[in-house]
Amino acid sequence: MSGLAIDCHGHFTTEPPDFLAFRRAQIAFAEGRSDERPEYSEVDDDTLRGIIASNQLRLQQERGSDLTILSPRASGMGHHVPGQDVATQWAQLSNNVIQRICELFPRNFAGVCQLPQTVDGDLVPVIEELERCVAAGFVGCNLNPDPSGGRWSAPPIHDPWWDPLWETMTRLDVPAMIHVSGSCTRALHTTGGHYLAADTVVFMQLVEGDLFQRHPALRLVIPHGGGAAPYHWGRYRGLAMMLGKSSLPEHLMQNLYFDTCVYHQAGIDLLFGVIDPGNILFGSELLGAVRATDPETGHDFDDTSRYIDALGLDEQTRHAVFEGNARRVYPRLDALLTAQRR
């Protein structure tokens, strides 16, 4: 394949044991189960280099992709954990590790940051961390529309409460991937229920509101193939009409994008049959929700480039899905890649 294969959706889910132990101790402190605030000693470069080389980089090379847009573990963001100071410390530590990975492997990874959201906090520390990370070379952020972990206590994302963040993202020229964290209710499995339900809920919030009319330069990515939206496109077209909105291409799809984290061929076929390829970014969720081999194909479920290959796209469309759309949605990534390849 000519050009680059840019995976827009990757997570650092192979953290060192000490890193995970620190987080468990931090949560215990935040929830009052421990009186001792834990201290974290950073993992050394050799350990970090070995972890990435054995996992994310190995799979990148085996599957033929070139660069992964990498963020901290989504289910580990833990925005439901109480305390703004805890959320800020955890986001900074998590983002610092992503920054170091990108510095160790600058041609293989670009950073997307975790935001220090809390259930009852405001957006000031969120904006401060976004600005810090963008200054450090990050190309975007992950935004949690439901910090409560399945209870949906936050305002819908079209609500003006979010406007300071949208204004900052527009000023910095960075997009957000809309991505929830862990589920706090037994009724919602984190990766199979909460993630996909949230994608669908947010799409409907966007249908209901006028977010992109107020912020016309804002760009958002809904992961996991857009949740149920492509499958129920007729429902959303009809609801938009009933709500007095313009057509979905005009109302939403100048600013909204879906990835290809859909783990079977029929799902990818439907995604490309419903959604314009100009709104689709190659993504695999590496290493993410499904770490298993499909017995029907003999390949890993999350090796999503194979499903795209099977579509028989023309070269121009393939280039858009694998590279061009990502560089357009993430202009700071485009600038980074242009500088690297001079």
Q: Residue 7 in 3-state DSSP?
A: strand
CB 229 within 8 Å of CB 290: no
DSSP string across 109-158: EEEEEE----SS--SHHHHHHHHHHHHTT--EEEE-S-TTSSS--SPPTT
Q: Is residue 198 within 8 Å of residue 145, measured between CB atoms?
A: yes
Residue 285 is among the residues annotated as catalytic for this protein: yes
Which candidate, 262, 279, 277, 286, places its Cα nearest to that of 312?
A: 277
Spatial CB neighbours of 102, under 8 Å, sequence gap ≥ 6: 70, 109, 110, 111, 137
Measure the CA–CA gap between 310 and 244, rounded to whole angstroms.
38
Helix axes 45-54, 56-63, angle to 10 degrees: 30
112 strand-pairing partners: 140
Active-site residue, from 39, 128, 167, 285: 285
Active site residues: 285
